[in-house]
Amino acid sequence: MPDTTQQVLIIGAGPAGLSMACALADAGIASTVLEASPEAELAEPREDGREIALTHRGTAILQDLQAWQDLPPEAISPLRQARVFNGTAPQCLHFDSGQAERLGSLVPNHWLRRIAWLGAERRPLVQVRTQAKVTALELSAASARLTLEGGEQLQAPLVIAADSRFSATRRLAGIGAEMRDFGRSVILCRIEHEKPHEDQALECFHHGHTMAWLPLGGYSAQLSSLVLTLPTDLAQAQLAWSEEQWLAWVQQHSQGRLGRLKLAGSRHHYPLVATYAHRFAAPRFALVGDAAVGMHPVTAHGYNFGLYGVQCLASLLAGAPDPGDAALLTHYAAEHRRTTWPIYQGTNAVVRLFTDERPPARLLRQGVLAVADRLPPLKALITRQLTGQGRIGFSAR
Ligand SMILES: Cc1cc2nc3c(=O)[nH]c(=O)nc-3n(C[C@H](O)[C@H](O)[C@H](O)COP(=O)(O)OP(=O)(O)OC[C@H]3O[C@@H](n4cnc5c(N)ncnc54)[C@H](O)[C@@H]3O)c2cc1C
């Protein structure tokens, strides 16, 4: 067993925790990743229905980590345009990639998990211990100590928690979090359609539900991922329907935008809960990934924020004599908050506006879409934020 007392300990081998370990290794810092699940779930992650929209900055970070090239070409689908509709009104807010070749790329989540695992596997400075569930944590100015299920204790100069938006270690570190339960769930499913998607995403805010269509051009010009957002009780009811009955409902509500539809996969569902940690650092402790910021998926920022945090923290720790240095962790916390807080708040405001069924809200969103569509500078600003080109750099030290 390697001596972990000088290594950074990372809790959680999701895509954020594993990418953190890879980024630290590239900065010359050894780490051990502790993961509750068995190895097979990390090495061969199952398809989970999520198609992750990556910004230009998120993509660049994966390229720097040498992970991007592990993706098969078909797993990368270009996103070149997006249209946002309010109800059945024909007018829409239209975004295109302007001078850029694309707005971003869509990659299946199970592929992102897999390339993060492959990256960790080939770096000698990264150890991954599976079936190692963290149950207790003690933090002091001198060091961090954690306990695994079974009683084993490990000590380190720094513990980084990447153990999901419902992070238990965040709570053990005495850090609270804002939690926003939207009372809604998403049903995800791949669907083949008659008309080509032209690499265009459609976001349709209907009364009572939202339908987003994400184009999967890497696989086919006639394949998209449907992201259907519904009040949770309706989502549960729909999941009990047969596939035929559900497809008929989707067909009826798709307004023929993509022609005849056919299921191309199984349905997956997720409750929608956003979380934002009150602090991102404590003595000898930092939060990354969803454990720091768990986003509503409508603006597609969750994993991108995970990658921005990984890049920021690893750059700050590179070359530092003590990776648990309090000033560095404070700098990371402030920087990550500056990057994420405006978009977290903006995303929640968009969700509130577009899920409020009262007539004034419906009118207001029609107005917002019309005004935004006629104001190129505002559209350009939104596009820059959504594609990760808003604040590319950050001041490390
Ligand atoms: C429907 C949906 C659509 C999304 N779309 C987008 C998108 O378009 N763009 C985007 O950027 N993001 C998107 N996201 C967000 C993205 O999926 C997440 O941000 C990302 O998967 C989080 O990764 P993570 O590593 O932080 O957490 P997780 O993947 O949750 O990993 C946490 C890991 O920690 C382990 N763990 C937990 N507790 C312990 C413990 N005590 N001890 C040891 N191990 C532990 C778990 O087993 C797990 O492996 C979407 C999310 C959803 C639900």
pLDDT at 86: 78
Which atom in ligand 1 lies closest to the alpha carbon of residue 53? 8
Ranges of beta strands (E only) in 12-50 are 31-34
Which residue reads 């699940």 in tokens?
37
Distance CA 303, CA 289 (A): 7
Q: Is the pLDDT of residue 5 over 70?
A: no
What's the rounded mean pLDDT across residues 125-137? 97
Q: Using CB atoms within 10 Å of the CB of residue 285, give its burial: 0 to 12 exposed, 13 to 18 middle, 19+ buried.
A: buried
User: 160: CA distance to ligand 1 center in Å?
Assistant: 15
User: 306: CA distance to ligand 1 center in Å?
Assistant: 9
**91 in a structural domain:** no
Q: Residue 26, SS3?
A: helix
**82 in a structural domain:** no
Ranges of beta strands (E only) in 55-141 are 77-79, 81-86, 92-96, 104-108, 126-129, 134-139
Mean per-residue pLDDT over the chain, rounded: 90
For 333, the domain range is 8-76+107-179+273-356
User: 127: CA distance to ligand 1 center in Å?
Assistant: 20
Reported as type and span, the H/E element at residue 313 is helix 302-317
Per the model's pLDDT, the better-predicted residue between 21 and 381 turns out to be 21
Distance CA 23, CA 146 (A): 22
Q: What is the DSSP letter of 28?
A: T
User: 14: CA distance to ligand 1 center in Å?
Assistant: 6
User: 13: CA distance to ligand 1 center in Å?
Assistant: 9
Which atom in ligand 1 lies closest to the alpha carbon of residue 132? 43
Distance CA 311, CA 290 (A): 15
Sequence-separated (6 or more) residues with CB below 8 Å from residue 127: 2, 7, 30, 31, 32, 33
**98 in a structural domain:** no
Q: How many domains does the chain have?
A: 1
**149 in a structural domain:** yes
Strands 51-54 and 31-34: unpaired
Q: Six-digit token pair at 223?
A: 């394949």
Distance CA 313, CA 27 (A): 11
Which atom in ligand 1 lies closest to the alpha carbon of residue 15? 25
Which of 10, 44, 113, 163 has the most ligand 1 atoms within 8 A of CB, as the residue to mutate?
163
Which residue reads 């998607």 in tokens?
197
Q: Predicted confidence band at 389 (pLDDT cuts at 50, 70, 90)?
A: low
User: 79: CA distance to ligand 1 center in Å?
Assistant: 22
User: 259: CA distance to ligand 1 center in Å?
Assistant: 33
Ligand 1 in contact with 52 (CB < 6 A)?
yes
- What's the chain's Rg over C-alpha atoms? 21
Which atom in ligand 1 lies closest to the alpha carbon of residue 227? 1
**40 in a structural domain:** yes
Buried b (16+ CB within 10 A) or exposed e, 196-213: ebebbbbbbbeeebbbbb
Q: What is the DSSP letter of 241?
A: S
Which atom in ligand 1 lies closest to the alpha carbon of residue 34? 43
CATH of the domain at 12: 3.50.50.60
Ligand 1 in contact with 17 (CB < 6 A)?
yes
User: 162: CA distance to ligand 1 center in Å?
Assistant: 8
Residue nearest to atom 9 of ligand 1 (CA): 300
| Span 195-233, pLDDT tens digits | 999 999 998 888 889 999 999 999 999 999 999 999 999
Strands 159-161 and 285-287: parallel
Query: Of 73, 72, 76, 70, which Cα lies nearest the Cα of 19?
Result: 70
User: CA 380, 385, 388: angle at the middle one, nearest 5?
Assistant: 120
Q: Six-digit token pair at 351?
A: 């969700």
Query: Of 179, 240, 185, 241, which Cα lies nearest the Cα of 355?
Result: 185
**19 in a structural domain:** yes
Q: Is the pLDDT of residue 2 over 50?
A: no
pLDDT at 325: 96
HEC-encoded secondary structure of 169-235: HHHHCCCCEEEEEEEEEEEEEEEEECCCCCCEEEEEECCCCEEEEEECCCCCCCEEEEEEEEEHHHH
Distance CA 31, CA 7 (A): 5
- Cα-flanking dihedrals φ and ψ of residue 277, to 5°? -65, 140
**285 in a structural domain:** yes
Ligand 1 in contact with 175 (CB < 6 A)?
no
The number of residues in the chain equals 397
pLDDT at 385: 62
User: 164: CA distance to ligand 1 center in Å?
Assistant: 5
Q: What is the DSSP letter of 319?
A: T
Residue nearest to atom 41 of ligand 1 (CA): 134
Ligand 1 in contact with 45 (CB < 6 A)?
no
Q: What is the DSSP letter of 390?
A: S
Per the model's pLDDT, the better-predicted residue between 269 and 298 turns out to be 269
Q: Six-digit token pair at 71?
A: 């993706």
Q: Is the pLDDT of residue 1 over 50?
A: no
- Cα-flanking dihedrals φ and ψ of residue 290, to 5°? -65, -25
Q: Is the pLDDT of residue 386 over 70?
A: no
Q: Are 229 and 110 in contact (CB under 8 A)?
A: no
User: 253: CA distance to ligand 1 center in Å?
Assistant: 30
**131 in a structural domain:** yes
| Span 356-369, pLDDT tens digits | 666 666 666 666 66
What's the rounded mean pLDDT across residues 61-88? 93
Residue nearest to atom 50 of ligand 1 (CA): 297
Ligand 1 in contact with 104 (CB < 6 A)?
no
Share of the chain above pLDDT 70, in %: 88
Distance CA 275, CA 3 (A): 34
Ligand 1 in contact with 49 (CB < 6 A)?
no
Q: Among 61-75, 176-190, 331-345, 382-396, whose mean pLDDT is lowest?
A: 382-396
